[in-house]
Amino acid sequence: MVTDIKDVQDFKLKPMKCEFNFLSKSDGSAILSQGDTVSLVSVNGPLDIKMTSQRIDKSTLEVLFSNKNGKPSVENRYKENIVKQTCEAAILGSLYPRTGINVTIQELEDYGGFLACTLNCTCLALLNSGVSMRNVFAAVSCAVDNHGNVILDPTHAQLQTSTATMTFVFDSRDKSLITCFTDGCFSQDAYREALERSRSASDLVFAFYRDIIRKYCNVIG
């Protein structure tokens, strides 16, 4: 089942398109494109795991990221940690003590905003898997150019000339900031502008979630 949304361009976001159950041998999976950037995420769990890895109070979350060339790197571990922190804040792990939940991410195409695309794809894959969550989350990326202007959901070309990048993650309840990841130099004013513009843009990402879930439920119903 595939759904897409093109009116994200009204918010200067790239068009989004998603397909659920892209992988047949996982408990949940999603492939998401935001413009030309594409991420594939699968979720398995709750699973039985070794006693040495078990936690008595909640599930053990493992995140594995693979880039296009398949070679491990420090940047891969960084992305894994970002996704893990965000998911741990959203998943109701206390409902699954002594079990494991595995999230596997595959980079397919990166033409800007890959971290935000991956976080959004991960949220959709978790929803598809049926794992209980306290809230869903949406990520939006920004860049700051060499004139100090904030660019929402920048393209690959815009990123090449930017002085800073930011990725904001908001929860679905009151759009409070869950996590923020930045790189480069920027002013406080640029940060505040990027934060508020991203918060407003997250509305459309959440609307996209609702749309795809509604269509998916109609298909399986």
The residues, ordered by sequence, that sit 6+ positions from 92 with a Cβ below 8 Å of its Cβ are 132, 133, 134
φ, ψ dihedrals at 189, nearest 5°: -65, -40
Instruction: Indicate the pTM of the whole model.
Output: 0.92
What are the residue ranges spanned by the domains of the chain? 2-220
For residues 159-171, give the mean pLDDT: 96
* Whether residue 164 has pLDDT greater than 70: yes
Strand order in the sheet with 28-34: 2-5, 16-20, 28-34, 37-48, 99-109, 60-66
The pLDDT value recorded for residue 8 is: 42
Pairing mode, if any, of strands 99-109 and 60-66? parallel
pLDDT digits (tens, 9 = 90+) for 106-152: 999 999 999 999 999 999 999 999 999 999 999 999 999 999 999 99
DSSP string, 123-167: HHHHHHHT--BS--EEEEEEEEETTS-EEES--HHHHHTEEEEEE
User: What is the C-alpha R_g of the chain?
Assistant: 17
Paired with 177 in beta bridges are: 170
CA 208 to chain centre: 13
Between 13 and 104, name the one with better pLDDT. 104
The C-alpha angle with vertex 136 and arms to 84 and 103, in degrees rounded to 5, equals 35
The percent of residues above 90 in pLDDT, for the chain, comes to 84
* Whether residue 6 has pLDDT greater than 80: no
Helix count (H) and strand count (E) of the chain?
4, 10
For residues 167-186, give the mean pLDDT: 94
**What CATH architecture applies to the domain 2-220?**
2-Layer Sandwich (3.30)
